A and B are shown apart, each in its own frame.
Chain A
Amino acid sequence: MDAKGYGVLRWKFIGVIFFFSLIPVLALGSFIHAQFSHTYEEKVTSNLRIMIENKRAAVDMFLQERIAQVRNLAYTHTLSEMGDQAFLSSLFGTIRHGSASFIDLGVIGSNGRHVAYAGPYELGGANYSDEDWFHQVMLKGVYVSDVFMGFRNYPHFIIAVLRREGDTNWILRATIDSEVFHSLVQSVQLGRRGDAFLVNGEGLLQTPSRFGRPTLERCTLPVQGINELTIMHLPGGERQELAGVVPLRTLDWKLVISEDPSEEMSPLLTVQSIALSLVLGGVVVIFVGAFLTTRAIVAKVERADREKAAADMNLMQSSKLAALGKMAAGIAHEVNNPLTLIREAAGWITDLLTDEEPESMKHFEEIEEAARDIDRHVERAKTVTHRMLGFARRMEPVQENVDVGALVEGTISFLANEAMHRNIIIQREYAPDLPLINTDATQVQQVVLNLLENAIDAVNRDGNITVRTGADQQGVFFSVQDNGPGIEPGLLSKIFDPFFSTKKVGEGTGLGLSITYGIVERLGGRILAESEPGQGATFTVHLPAA
Chain B
Amino acid sequence: MKNLHMLLVDDETEFLSLVTRRMARRGVEVTSAESGEQALELLENEEFDVVVLDVRMPGMDGIETLRRIKARHPGTEVVLLTGHADTSSAYTGMQLGAFDYMIKPVAFDELFAKIRDAALVSGRA
A-side interface residues toward B, CB under 8 Å? Answer: 329, 332-333, 336-337, 339-341, 343-345, 347-348, 351, 378, 382, 385-386, 389-390, 392-393
Contact = CB atoms under 8 A, between A and B. Distances in A.
A343 B110 CA distance: 13
Given A339-B105, A343-B105, A329 B15 contact: no
A393 B105 contact: no
Interface in B90-125: 103-108
A351 B19 CA distance: 11
A125 B16 CA distance: 167
Chain A to chain B: the 10 pairs with minimum beta-carbon distance, closest first: A389-B84, A340-B105, A344-B18, A389-B85, A339-B105, A347-B108, A386-B84, A329-B85, A351-B25, A336-B104
A379 to B, nearest CB: 8
B73 interface: no
B22 A333 contact: no
A284 to B, nearest CB: 68
Contacts of A347: 18, 22, 108
B80 to A, nearest CB: 15
B85 A392 contact: yes
B38 interface: no
A348 B22 contact: yes
A341 B22 contact: no
Contact of A340 (B21, B84, B85, B106): B106
B21 A348 contact: yes
Contacts of A386: 84, 103
A336 B83 contact: yes
A440 to B, nearest CB: 15
B64 interface: no
Given A378-B105, A382-B105, A344 B19 contact: yes
A341 B56 contact: no
Contacts of B105: 336-337, 339-340, 343, 378, 382
B14 interface: yes
Among B18, B84, B103, B106, which residue has the most Cβ atoms of chain A within 10 A?
B84
B12 interface: yes
A347 B56 CA distance: 23
Among A337, A343, A389, A390, which residue has the most Cβ atoms of chain B within 10 A?
A337
A347 B107 CA distance: 9
Nearest to A329: B85
Interface of B: 12, 14-15, 18-19, 21-22, 25, 56, 83-85, 87, 103-108
B12 A337 contact: yes
Given A336-B105, A347-B108, A341 B14 contact: yes
Contacts of A344: 15, 18-19, 22, 108
A159 to B, nearest CB: 133
Contacts of B104: 336-337, 340
A348 B18 contact: yes
22 contacts: A336-B83, A337-B15, A340-B12, A340-B15, A340-B104, A340-B105, A341-B14, A341-B15, A343-B107, A343-B108, A344-B15, A344-B22, A344-B108, A347-B18, A347-B108, A348-B18, A348-B22, A378-B105, A389-B83, A389-B84, A392-B85, A393-B85
A385 B105 CA distance: 10
A383 to B, nearest CB: 11
Nearest to A330: B85
A385 B84 contact: yes
Given A348-B21, A348-B22, A351-B22, A393 B108 contact: no
Contacts of B22: 344, 347-348, 351
Contacts of B106: 340
Given A339-B105, A351-B21, 12 more contacts: A333-B83, A336-B84, A337-B15, A337-B104, A341-B18, A343-B108, A345-B18, A348-B21, A348-B22, A351-B22, A351-B25, A389-B85
Contact of A390 (B14, B18, B84): B84
A337 B105 CA distance: 7
A16 to B, nearest CB: 56
Nearest to B88: A394
A385 B85 CA distance: 10
A351 B14 CA distance: 17
A323 to B, nearest CB: 15
Contacts of B85: 329, 332-333, 389, 392-393
A318 B18 CA distance: 42
A500 to B, nearest CB: 36
